[in-house]
Amino acid sequence: MTPEANIRPLYIDPGQLDSGERSSDVWTGYRDGKKTGEQLFFTYVLGSDSLFSITALDENGDRVDDRSQFTNVESEDRHLATPEDAEGARYDIVFNDNFTAYDYVSETWYTRGDMEKLLAEFPGAWTSSQNGDFQLTFKEDGTFESIYRGDVNGAGSYTMKANNVVQLQYEDREWQSRKVEFAEDGELTVIDVDNLRYKKI
C-alpha cells in the first residue's frame, strides 16, 4: 500500500468520545508488518477549529507524554503535520481512508478497527426500538432506504466514518446528512431531532 492523502484530516471522525481526553477509536501502529506497540488517539481540541490533539499510548494503554502533541488540523496538501517551530514529538500524517493512516516521520502505518468486518455486519434491516413505524435498510452496495409505515420516504448512501460512526447522505436532500452512532448494546442511534434508536431485525 502506498501512503496517499485521500482524506482531509478535518474530515476524519475520531469516533465517539469516551472522555475529554481520548476517543473510543484507537489507531494501532505497524512497521514492516509488525505492531510497534504504539497507539494513537486523535481528537479535536475543544474550542478550536484548527488544532488536533494526538495522544500516544504504549502497549499497556498508558499515555506517553513525549509522543503526545497538539498540531494543526491540516496543511495545504492534506497532511496532519506538526508545525516546524513546535517542541516535542513530530508527526506528518496522511489518511488513505477513514481507517488507514501513515506517518512519514516514523515511517509507521496506523489502522483502526476492521472496516471489512463492519461492512459485512452492518447491512440489513433495522427497526426503531422506540417506534416500530420507522425502519432503515442498509444494502451491501453502500446505499440505504428510510422506511415509514412500510413506504420508502428517503434514500441515499452511507459511509463508514469510524468504528462506531456511519454517515448517511440523502440523495434527494443534498443539504441533509445524518450521523449514526453505535451503542454498546448493539443498537444504533440516528443523530437528529428525535435521536431514534434502531435494532437489527
Q: Give tens-digit pLDDT for 75-105.
A: 778 998 888 877 888 899 999 999 999 999 9
- The region, left, alpha or beta by phi > 0 then psi within -120 to 50, assigned to residue 77 is alpha
pTM here is 0.81
The type of residue at 16 is Q
The domain segmentation of the chain, as residue ranges, is: 9-113, 117-200
Class of domain 117-200: mainly beta
Q: Which residue has the cell 494513537?
A: 40
Q: Give tens-digit pLDDT for 45-78.
A: 766 666 678 888 888 888 898 888 887 766 778 9
CB 48 within 8 A of CB 22: no
